[in-house]
Structure 1
């Protein structure tokens, strides 16, 4: 599978092991914290407005990135807690799990952040996140009508993401 570039989308990676409908929510943020896409499939309880939810999720990612960089046992440069880091700088996290969900995270060199919230028993989703990013590049970035930084409203992209994510279960 190609992570960057290329003109065709490789076959989707094998579905991670778990049972039932795994996917709950998908977020795609740009480097400035703008939520470009939010999709949900299996979220029975909604407690926040969408704007509050997006701010909370982006803040969580910011805090976790800062915390993991500060706790990195291999780096002499610890920086200050709360200071933004560039993509690829310091150590990073890929996922965390609670008793009710698993959050998987990927950040691209351009600062695009993809978050997939799934069932807690879902296995590693790094290849799945890369595949979703490839869909984003093919259907959104390469679309001459797309204006960077605006919400993604392309039916073909949404259908491709929905079809892939539903297949994770």
Structure 2
């Protein structure tokens, strides 16, 4: 799954018509650099994607006719992950969380 999203976001950044300093296809990018890839749709499902500035990637599979869920994913990150993981005094940054 990581490779799929890395490739799609890298491709979108390379094809971004607004960016004059486009990275070459396949080269690593900094977090947030380039065009924002949000979702793709197949015949069976829609896969929504959000990468936050800290590098955390959130993926949500939905019905193929679901609307853009960027706001929902952002709320999941802000209201749940930040509140219950990042602000947890027992959490060590960079370590897996349970």
- Say yes or no: TM over 0.5: yes
Which residue, 56, 73, 85 being the options, matches 2:29?
85
Map 1:149-168 onto structure 2 (within 5 A). Answer: 149-153=94-98
Deviation at 1:84, TM superposition (A): 1.6
Name the structure 2 match of 1:113.
Answer: 57
Query: Which position in structure 1 is the counterpart of 2:89?
Result: 144
Length, aligned pairs only? 97
Structure 2 Cα separation of the partners of residues 119 and 149 of structure 1? 33
Aligned alpha-carbon RMSD (Å): 1.2
1:60 and 2:41 correspond: no
**Whole-Å separation in 2 of the counterparts to 1:98 and 1:137:** 31
Unaligned runs of 5+ in 2: none
Q: Which moved more, 1:80-89 or 1:126-135?
A: 80-89
C-alpha distance in 2, partners of 1:93/1:110? Answer: 16
Structure ranking higher on relative contact order (CA contacts 8 Å, 6+ apart): 1
Structure index of larger Rg: 1
Q: Indicate which of 54, 68, 71 corresponds to 1:124.
A: 68
Using structure 2 for the length normalisation, give the TM-score.
0.90
Q: Is the 8 A contact 1:62 1:84 kept in 2?
A: no
* Contact 2:23–2:29 (Cα < 8 Å) also in 1: no
1:98 aligns with 2:3: no
